């Protein structure tokens, strides 16, 4: 690691997955998601449920894909 760097290097796919999850989480917390209801539940609840399922699945897929290439 180069002097002055505090982070471990990340693969390109991991950076993209991290950015997607951060953007999805930020979009989930927008005020408009709280007033809309889908199937009797607030859109915020659906987005949080999707985030709980998609974040580990996306992360595992990216890590597994990266290891299969090496």
Tell me, letter by letter, the H, E, C secondary structure of the chain.
CCCCCCCCCCCHHHHHHHHHHHHHHHHHCCCHHHHCEECCEEHHHHHHHHHHHHHHHHHHHHHHHHHHHC
pTM above 0.85, yes or no: no
The domain spans of the chain are: 28-69
37-68 per-position pLDDT tens digit: 888 888 888 888 999 998 999 889 888 887 76
3-26 per-position pLDDT tens digit: 667 677 888 888 888 899 999 888
């Amino acid at each position: 690691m180069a002097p002055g760097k505090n982070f471990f290097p990340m693969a390109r796919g991991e950076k993209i997955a991290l950015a997607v999850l951060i953007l999805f989480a930020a979009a989930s917390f927008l005020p408009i998601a709280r007033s809309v209801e889908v199937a009797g539940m607030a859109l915020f609840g659906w987005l949080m449920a999707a985030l709980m399922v998609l974040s580990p699945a996306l992360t595992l897929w990216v890590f597994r894909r990266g290891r299969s290439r090496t």
